[in-house]
A = this chain, B = another copy of it.
Amino acid sequence: MVLKYQRHKNSSVIYKTEIMNENIKKNLSFLKSALTEESSFISTAEVINWLKERNEAVNVKITKIKFKDLIGWSFSEGQFNLKHNSGKFFSIDGIKVKTNYGNLSEWEQPIINQPEIGYLGFITKEFDGILHFLVQAKIEPGNVNNVQLSPTLQATRSNYTQVHNGKAPRYLEYFRDRNRCTVLLDQLQSEQGARFLHKRNRNIIVQTEENVEIHDDFIWLTLGQIKKLIQYDNLVNMDTRTVISGIPFGSFTSSTIDFFRAIDKNRISPTAEAMLESALKNDKALMSIDEIIAWFTNLKCKFDLNVSKMSLADINDWIIDDYEIRHKDNKFFKVIATEVEISNREVAKWMQPLVQPAQEGLIAFIVKKINGVYHFLIQAKLESGNFDVLEMAPTVQCLTGNYRQTAEGALPFLKTVLNVQNEDIIFDTLQSEEGGRFYQEQNRNLLIKVNDDFNESIPSDYCWMTLNQLHSFLKYNNYLNIQARSLISAISFI
């Protein structure tokens, strides 16, 4: 049957004569790229060197300054909030949170308010039959190491729609002019719920057949390479990780997968193979999707999240001084005023607030073979900025509190994660938060496996899911939180 996808310019319509095969073809194309570490362009080792060179070629100087010297930004009357004078970008607001979730029923905190949807997009193209992603070595002021791998396009909605007629971001035309490419993925995903109020990003992957001009600092990488690079500390930025976490690889019965694995002579590592099976098999899960939805609905109805705006100046236990908005005991995070100077081929200078965490955080998934397939231990977690009360989070997520000071037994599964034996670690790396907002924030990302003797009985706000099921929920808005997605992005099948 003919595969056809057409958009008629004049009638603004879409039609198509046959699609399901095309969908399987798309999943397969992603999977082949994920299974390929050899690029026609650059080896993974060379990418690491290239990033190192790029990093050394640039000098980023961040100076902490006084809020009163932060040109372009100011506190509104009575220090209600901190905002850009144009009303654009973002503001730091105060919120009062009431909830029946967790031990703390009421608190106040500063939060980043950025109502505009962020656009994160990759251009992809097939070379020698393998899909490659156009990746940028991008400088962000808050990065611990200056330069990290970012999507082809990082833009605000205003950049994207060009309403202000500013300078168009590079490659924008491939995303805006849908005749130049096919859309492979287009999803709305959440940002950190403890730091952002209802913030969402649009994650887009397009495929083109055109000859793409490659600007400085851009390279073509396979998905397998990107996933390998996430196995290293702080090479791949958060925006890349969220986009690639949403990539679907297909859904098949166990017998189909077992059949094709049996005739495949190229064995991969046992862990990678088990991950691939967890990603693809759709009939080995402990609970069905409907049951997981019922579990999640029950918890969403059980927990309240009531958030109201308040003045920054009135937030209990927080202090606004000349340089910082901080907790009186320096807990959680602080908002700092900075002057940024980046010297590369040319010099750029600007001022902006950044959010600095009080300490390094920890996020971890525990996985266990159940019914012969890896299941991930998911937590239903409430965070103040969540769009819809709860999101599905990693087994352990300690970002705002200090996990090294958490009382023994206070946080489920923390002890299991911290006491993991080396042979049970699937990966253990440091990954950065978005360097445009966060100052040198990096968190430990851990994926560990547990043995058969690990008790499957879990608290009622936890649930076991296969990777195939996580991919199903990931398609829909606001199910998996950004920390869960960051961990999923790092799962390699090779």
Contacts and interface: CB of A to CB of B under 8 A. Distances in A.
Contacts of A167: none
Interface residues of A, number: 51
Contacts of A187: 293-294, 297
A255 B284 CA distance: 23
A307 to B, nearest CB: 13
A12 B460 contact: yes
A183 to B, nearest CB: 5
Copies, count: 2
A117 B283 CA distance: 33
Given A202-B297, A477-B388, A19 B186 contact: no
A52 interface: no
A188 B19 contact: no
A298 B161 CA distance: 12
B18 A185 contact: no
A50 interface: no
B287 A475 contact: no
B13 A285 contact: no
Contact of A371 (B18, B183, B186): B18
Contacts of A284: 20
B371 A297 contact: no
Nearest to A293: B475
Interface stretch (A68-76, A85-93, A341-349, A451-459): A451-459
Interface in A129-162: 157
Given A290-B475, A294-B183, A475-B293, A15 B457 contact: yes
Interface string A450-494: 000000111110000000000000011101000000000000000
A38 interface: no
What 3 A-B pairs have minimum CB-CB distances, sorted nearest first? Answer: A186-B294, A23-B288, A13-B457
Contacts of A291: 19, 23, 183
A219 interface: no
A202 B288 contact: no
A298 B187 CA distance: 8
A23 B291 CA distance: 9
A188 B290 contact: no
A187 B300 CA distance: 10
Given A18-B371, A20-B284, A26-B290, 7 more contacts: A13-B458, A15-B456, A15-B457, A23-B290, A157-B301, A186-B297, A290-B475
Interface in A1-15: 8, 11-15
Contact of A286 (B16, B287, B458): B16
Given A19-B288, A287-B16, A288-B23, A188 B457 contact: no
A11 B455 CA distance: 12
